[in-house]
Structures are given as C-alpha cells and as structure tokens.
Amino acid sequence: MPLKNKSKGIVPWDYQIDDENYQKEPWILKKGKEYVTIEKDKNNKGLFFLQKDEVKRLSLSASQAKLTYHQLIEFGYKLRKPKIEFTSKG
C-alpha cells in the first residue's frame, strides 16, 4: 500500500464516543510479546505519544501517529480489544 493512502485510513482516535468502533485511549497494538502504546498528548493538542514496550516515549504529530499506526498494522501488529466492563445490578 503506498504511503499516501495510509494517511487517509481510519485510526482509533478518529472515532467518536457514539461510534460502534470507539475505544478509549491508550490504544495498544500487540504482536507476540511486543506492544506499542499510542495516546494523545494532554498538554499539546494535536500531538501524540508513542511508546514501544518500556522504551522512552516519542512525541509525534497527528499525521506521523496515523502513518505509524498503519505501518504497525501492516507489520502484523493488532489493536488490542478493550476489556469489557461488567456492572452489577443490585
């Protein structure tokens, strides 16, 4: 897939709360024992943090984060499904 098409694909942070595929951050991509965490930078709107395993976090622009997300998917990483929260009715 050409790089220019990757920047147009949907990423988890494009979804809104009401969307069926909405997931809360952080978004975790996993491949075997490796994992990559992507989350929004709360102090700088439009920037993202990316961290592989326990290595130092990188700050990325929105377009860099989107491109990196699609590259990770292409390399075989899978977005971890959110844990289902159960509520007990008393």
Q: Name the nearest CA neighbour of 61 among 35, 31, 38.
A: 38
What is the rounded CA–CA span in Å between residue 67 and residue 90? 46
Q: Under 8 Å CB-to-CB from 46, ≥6 apart: which residues?
A: 61, 62
pLDDT band at residue 66 using 50, 70 and 90 as cut-offs: very high
Res 89 pLDDT > 70: no
Helix (H, G, I), strand (E, B) or coil at 32: coil
Torsion of CA 35, 59, 17, 28, to 10 degrees: 0
What pLDDT does residue 1 have?
42
pLDDT band at residue 3 using 50, 70 and 90 as cut-offs: very low
In this prediction the pTM is 0.80
Tokens 């790089």 -> residue: 3
Q: Under 8 Å CB-to-CB from 78, ≥6 apart: which residues?
A: 29, 30, 31
Average pLDDT on 11-38 reads 93
pLDDT band at residue 44 using 50, 70 and 90 as cut-offs: very high
